[in-house]
């Protein structure tokens, strides 16, 4: 089966980027032909292509149409549907908040997948997606990459935060102090602290407690760490055998977390989480994750949905006028979004101050001269 997978970008190591990489790896391992498309390619795209998986930023490079489009992010999914005019698609929703992550109302999108309960609710109750065409496939782990660690110590010694939004601030200071008082060293990984974690499988086995959300939390649990749901200034529970099913349904995400905490509240919450450390229960959590959340199980589910979409598309007459109207509505929405973005820029304090300075005699002339000089140097 030829599967074209779309994504907003393939530049770094965010959740959806790693998801499509792992789906492509899983499909290839089962004898299928994945092709990845994104208009924004970077280091991750190069890594995927080195594994002999085709990656393109221009769909005209794909000479043979795929059998199915695995769509992620509305603009890229619509691009693929318009380019391959007879190919059906499924759409996978990953995020409640992200504006680009909404289901495109296009006739050839035959099935919808949510990665957790909140995305399911978004599809059904906000976007009007039919419930009988939607299902949940929770996040998964590549069990070959994320191997089990040695048994946890009786008391935690090392902890790690995995979050690109974490920065050096009062909250992180409070977390370090809470860990230090319990004799736990805390390391931080993420773009916000200039220490991205590109190979978590090589890092996680060194930590007894991991503060993370989403895929990072699930992968940490698969390795065998005690996992605390965490994002920026919010904290959720320690993953246990009692709450694991609900945490997976929540995607180890926002529904499992507190509201934003003050730095003082955050430090106390970190202390309470460390108090709940239970190495035996964490080991049971890890065994369950490895039994229930492996990549192969998720790929089998996706393949079943692909086959359903292909069969339904073959039995459904294509309404070109309806597809044209759907594409026109999407372009209209893009235009409105662009207008809102322009208004936001023009109404910002930075823009207004800049315009005022530009119009000020003397200062404005100097600013324009500096700008021309900078542009000239960039073009040299």
pLDDT at site 222: 98
What was the pLDDT predicted at 335?
86
pLDDT digits (tens, 9 = 90+) for 159-187: 999 998 899 999 999 999 999 999 999 99
Residues 190-234 pLDDT 10s: 989 999 888 999 999 999 999 999 999 999 999 999 999 999 899
Give the up-direction half-sphere exposure of residue 264: CA atoms within 13 A in the CB hemisphere.
0
Contact between 238 and 277 (Cβ < 8 Å): yes
Tell me the backbone φ, ψ of residue 100, rounded to 5 degrees.
Answer: -70, -10
Task: Give the mean pLDDT of 35-62.
Answer: 97
* Nearest one of 359, 105, 30, 97 to 254, comparing CA atoms: 97
For residue 358, the model assigns a pLDDT of 67
Q: What is the mean pLDDT of residues 241-254?
A: 96
Mean pLDDT for the chain overall: 92
pLDDT at 369: 67
Stronger pLDDT, 13 or 312, i.e. the higher one: 312
Q: What is the pLDDT at residue 352? A: 67
Indicate if the pLDDT at residue 15 is higher than 80.
yes
Cα-Cα-Cα-Cα dihedral sign, residues 52, 55, 60, 66: positive
Q: Which of 5-14, 139-148, 215-224, 359-368 is predicted with the least confidence, judged by mean pLDDT?
A: 359-368
**343-366: pLDDT as tens digits:** 777 777 776 666 666 677 666 666
Taking the C-alpha atoms of residue 307 and residue 324, their distance in angstroms, rounded to an integer, is 25
Whether the per-residue pLDDT at 375 is higher than 60: the answer is no
Q: Express each pLDDT in 251-268 by its tens digit.
A: 999 999 989 999 999 999
**Range 91-99 average pLDDT:** 92
The pLDDT value given to residue 313: 97
Tell me what pLDDT residue 201 has: 93
Cα–Cα distance, 287 to 293 (Å, whole number):
10
The 3-class SS string of the chain reads CEEEEECCCECCCCHHHHHHHHHHHHHHHCCCEEEEECCCECHHHHHHHHCCCCEECCHHHCCCCCCEEEECCHHHHHHHHHHCCCCCEEEEECCCCCCCCCCCCCCCEEEEEECCHHHHHHHHHHCCCCHHHEEECCCCECCCCCCCCCCCCCCCCEEEEECCCCCCCHHHHHHHHHHHHCCCEEEEEEHHHCECCCCHHHCHHHCCEEEECHHHHHHHHHHCCEEEEEECCEEEEECCCCCHHHHHHCCCCHHHCCCCCCHHHHHHHHHHHHHCCCHHHHHHHHHHHHHHCEHHHHHHHHHHHHHHHHHHHHCCCCCHHHHHHHHHHHHHHHHHHHHHHHHHHHCCHHHHHHHHHHHCCCHHHHHHHHHHHHHHHHHC
């Amino acid at each position: 089966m030829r599967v074209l997978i779309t994504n907003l970008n393939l530049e770094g190591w965010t959740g959806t980027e790693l998801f499509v990489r792992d789906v492509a790896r899983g499909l290839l391992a089962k004898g299928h032909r994945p092709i990845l498309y994104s208009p924004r390619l970077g280091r991750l795209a190069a890594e995927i292509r080195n594994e002999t998986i085709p990656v393109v930023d221009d769909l005209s490079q794909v000479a043979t149409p795929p059998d199915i489009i695995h769509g992620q992010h509305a603009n890229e999914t619509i691009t693929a549907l318009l380019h391959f005019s007879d190919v059906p698609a499924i759409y996978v929703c990953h995020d409640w908040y992200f504006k680009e992550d909404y289901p495109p109302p296009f006739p050839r999108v035959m099935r919808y997948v949510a990665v957790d309960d909140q995305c399911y609710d978004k599809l059904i109750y906000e976007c009007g997606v039919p419930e009988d065409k939607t299902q949940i496939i929770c996040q998964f782990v590549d069990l070959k990459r994320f191997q089990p660690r040695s048994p946890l110590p009786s008391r935690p010694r090392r902890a790690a935060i995995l979050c690109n939004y974490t920065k050096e601030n009062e909250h992180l200071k409070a977390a370090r102090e809470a860990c230090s008082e319990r004799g736990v060293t805390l390391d931080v990984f993420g773009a916000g602290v200039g220490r991205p974690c590109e190979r978590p499988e090589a890092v996680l086995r060194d930590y007894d407690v991991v503060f993370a959300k989403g895929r990072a939390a699930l992968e940490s649990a698969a390795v065998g760490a005690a996992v605390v749901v965490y994002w920026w200034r919010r904290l959720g529970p320690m993953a246990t055998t009692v709450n694991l099913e609900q945490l997976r349904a929540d995607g180890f995400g926002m529904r499992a977390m507190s509201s934003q905490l003050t730095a003082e509240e955050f430090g106390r919450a970190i202390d309470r989480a460390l108090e709940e450390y239970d190495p035996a229960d964490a080991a049971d959590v890890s065994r369950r994750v490895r039994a229930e959340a492996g990549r192969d199980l998720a790929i089998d589910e996706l393949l079943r949905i692909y086959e359903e979409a292909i069969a339904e598309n073959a039995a459904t007459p294509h309404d070109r006028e309806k597809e044209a109207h759907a594409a026109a509505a999407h372009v209209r929405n893009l235009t409105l979004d662009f207008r809102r973005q322009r208004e936001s820029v023009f109404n910002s304090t930075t823009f207004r101050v800049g315009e005022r300075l530009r119009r000020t005699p003397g200062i404005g002339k100097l600013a324009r001269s500096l700008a021309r000089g900078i542009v000239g140097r960039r073009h040299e």
